[in-house]
A and B are shown apart, each in its own frame.
Chain A
């Protein structure tokens, strides 16, 4: 017998279910007042530096139907590409937002500051992007993806360049629809399926 590694194994995921909002977004579940202050209600505070943008879209299942019970979380750096906690980061950027697909229309809306690009491990430059994590009934482990922007230079981004099937790259790029307005639809399955990440 060889030595034991003594490592632990990650706790298995389970679906967040249809009532995830009770725990993470009480007001959305109809339970306003459960907490004095809910977590992740906005990724930015007053006085934030940079361009305020609004991203909207839907999460579609394999039949083209918009999910009306999905919860999304976004995580991003400030306009200068610094994440909360990094030296010099904008104190008005908390970076985290929780938002939900509307219970009737399935539309989500994310109001935030446009993130800056940044240099990652090995000095590789990442184009501006927002990380997304999607949970819902029927999703057994949260899905990771990213929102890039079609009015930025994405040509050198290491993640986009790692997508072997180039036709899939546009699934990660939000389309500008007006000043400060972007559209980003997520397709869980089938035609135009969004690239999801194991990262």
Chain B
């Protein structure tokens, strides 16, 4: 795995626009002037490396990690697994994935969440993992509940898991959300629908995968993630002016 050339410029058409007024908070938090476009340099083409030694054995097991293995969280037990790839379809190994989510009742363990659905004493809601040499990752967790939020008068977020990925360079940094196949709230959600084309939103919807479910234990959902790629040609590192 060699990281050499400049990052492929982002195709911003697949991403939500900054200003998406149905998601009300974006109205005052969206830049109104154009972004400055430049070729990437060392600041974007380098990035942090995370060693396995910093990770605990339960870091990717949200059913058990908050109670340190003492008691399981309540809810629908699921495996969330997938691969991290770049735009050329190559695996992105040894990269950090972090997730966070509400509990089965839609309540977040955060000082600012005041929804009256109760906290689960055995559920924290955060997990992290490094991809293996094939770019694969997995988490064991419980399926999060939908929850109401102050946007329009009766808006509810679909069930979702927040996902943060690094890749191998700071310019690949990405945060997104994973939704669940068949959830009728996806079509109603102003955040999901900040994405302009339905085909791109569909790429955030994880299918149920019975082949990875474990009988009498958990169901499984697959979620692959694609990060920006890098140009790699024999003409890449020519000297200026040649």
Do A189 and B204 touch (CB < 8 A)? no
Q: Is the interface of A mostly helix, strand, loop or mixed?
A: loop
Nearest chain B CB to A22 CB, angstrom units:
4
How many residues does chain A have at the interface if contact means C-beta atoms less than 8 Å apart?
83
Tell me the minimal C-beta distance from B224 to chain A in angstroms. 8
CB <8 Å contact, A197 and B87: no
> A140-B18, A159-B36, A197-B36 known; A8 and B28 CB under 8 Å?
no
B40 interface residue per 8 A CB criterion: yes
B91–chain A nearest beta-carbon distance, Å:
12
Q: Are A142 and B173 in contact (CB under 8 A)?
A: yes
B214 CB–A CB distance under 8 Å: no
Interface SS majority for chain B: loop
> Contact between B112 and A189 (Cβ–Cβ < 8 Å)?
no
* Interface 0/1 of A62-87, CB less than 8 Å to B: 11010101000101110000011110
Residues of the A chain whose Cβ atoms lie less than 8 Å from the Cβ of B226: 8-11
Q: Does A190 contact B (CB under 8 A)?
A: yes
Contact in complex: B225, A11 (CB < 8 Å): yes
Q: Mark A139-163, 1 if CB is under 8 A from B, else 0.
A: 1111110100000000000110011
Within the complex, the shortest CB–CB distance from B166 to chain A, in Å, comes to 9
Among B96, B162, B225, the most chain A Cβ lie within 10 Å of the Cβ of B162
Interface centre among B99, B100, B173, B194 (most CB of A within 10 A): B100
- Asked if A196 and B36 make an inter-chain contact with CB atoms under 8 angstroms apart, the answer reads yes
Q: Mark B129-153, 1 if CB is under 8 A from A, else 0.
A: 0000000000000000000000000
Q: In this assembly, does B33 line the interface, its C-beta being within 8 Å of a C-beta of chain A?
A: yes
* Contacting residues of chain B (8-54) with chain A, CB-CB under 8 angstroms: 9-12, 14-18, 20, 23, 25-33, 35-44, 46-50, 54
B25:A137 contact, CB within 8 angstroms:
yes
- Do the beta carbons of A139 and B29 come within 8 Å of each other? yes
A112: interface (CB < 8 Å)? no
B122 to chain A minimum Cβ distance, whole angstroms, is 13
Asked whether A189 lies within 8 Å of B36 as measured between CB atoms, the reply is no
Closest approach, in angstroms, between the C-beta of B124 and any C-beta of chain A?
Answer: 5
Q: Residues 168-188 of chain A: 1 if any B CB is under 8 Å from the residue's CB, otherwise 0?
A: 100000000000000000001
* B37/A14 in contact, CB under 8 A: no
Q: A22 with B110: in contact, given A139-B18, A143-B31 (CB under 8 Å)?
A: yes
**A138-B36 contact, Cβ under 8 Å, with A131-B44, A198-B12:** no
Between-chain CB contacts (< 8 Å), 10 pairs: A11-B203, A14-B162, A19-B110, A23-B126, A29-B111, A120-B41, A135-B175, A138-B27, A140-B15, A193-B31
Residues of chain A touching chain B, judged by Cβ–Cβ distance below 8 Å, are 6-24, 26, 29-31, 34-37, 39-40, 61-63, 65, 67, 69, 73, 75-77, 83-86, 94-96, 103, 118, 120-124, 126, 129, 131, 133, 135-144, 146, 158-159, 162-163, 168, 188-190, 193-199
